Homo-oligomer: A and B are copies of this chain.
């Protein structure tokens, strides 16, 4: 989405200089949009470049001018999906008062679940099994961290608000292993608390995945109430004051 800016140094970023570049940006967006629509109905494996081209009234080979391969188109969709779920979580979290740690935690959880239910195939794309034969390029790692960054900030705020470090045993091996990332992204968060937060992190996506992928079929009926309870319990486990 920012390739144009990289390639055209001396142009304003909102309106590309040439008409060609403008048309290109427009068409790139349209391709992604229809691809996303196809993704929503057919799923990732059913995403066909030819079908997308057909929908746009162009010939299949023309699409290759914009995305050199099907995987590149997929990558663009993955980046967009990470950005979208990150933005959804950020918006939900920001709507809560900063001191309401439990509310912010629940807001993030609900936003993640809500976005996943609204965009199941896009969620599968980023948190489901990786598309076989497709290796996520490095462009995807940055937007992929937005939700995690939100949770880390929440932990940091909790520490500032006086949240005690839990007294779990934490093996030295794990403590040392976490140190590099702790120093880079989680300054100020004690290791034991960080470990608990990371457990909550993967458990959140585990719960969403279980619901979305059908593993709660015939087990739970009121998925929303169930999810809310489990995430509240998880939040309390970390130490957030969650009412429930």
Interface residues of A (CB under 8 A from B): 42-46, 121, 124-125, 127-133, 136, 141, 144, 168-171, 173-174, 177-178, 181, 195-196, 198-199, 202-207, 209-210, 213-215, 217-222, 225-226, 228-230, 233-234, 236-237, 244
On whether the beta carbons of B43 and A226 are closer than 8 Å, the reply is: no
Distance of A45 Cα from B234 Cα, bound (Å): 35
Report yes or no: B195 in contact with A129, Cβ–Cβ below 8 A: no
Q: Across the interface, do B129 and A233 meet the contact criterion of CB distance under 8 Å?
A: no
Tell whether A128 pairs with B131 under 8 Å between CB atoms, given A174-B225, A205-B206.
no
Distance between A87 CB and nearest chain B CB, rounded to angstroms: 19
Question: Which 8 A-B pairs give the minimum distances between C-beta atoms?
Answer: A206-B206, A43-B132, A128-B129, A124-B129, A203-B203, A202-B210, A45-B45, A173-B225
B169 with A199: CB separation less than 8 A:
no
Q: Once the chains are docked, how many angstroms separate the CA of A42 from the CA of B132?
A: 6
> Closest CB of chain B to A204's CB: distance in Å?
8
Tell whether, in the assembled complex, residue A195 and residue B132 are in contact, meaning their CB atoms are under 8 Å apart: no
Given the interface pairs A43-B132, A198-B230, the reply to whether A181 lies near B218 with Cβ below 8 Å is yes
Residues of B close to A141: CB separation below 8 A? 217-218
The smallest beta-carbon distance between A197 and chain B, in angstroms, is 11
A102 to chain B, nearest CB (A): 13
Q: Which residue of B lies closest to A242 (CB)?
A: B169
- Residue in contact with A136 in the complex, picked from B42, B209, B214, B233, CB distance below 8 Å: B214
Bound Cα distance A133, B129 (Å): 15
- Which residue from chain B places its CB closest to the CB of A177 in the assembled complex? B222
Give Cα distance in the complex from A44 to B129, angstroms.
10
Residues of B within 8 A of A178 (CB): 220, 226
Cross-interface CB contact of A199 among B131, B136, B168, B233, cutoff 8 Å? B233
Is A177 a contact of B133 with CB atoms below 8 Å? Answer: no
With A130-B214, A230-B198 given, is the CB distance from A244 to B171 under 8 Å? Answer: yes
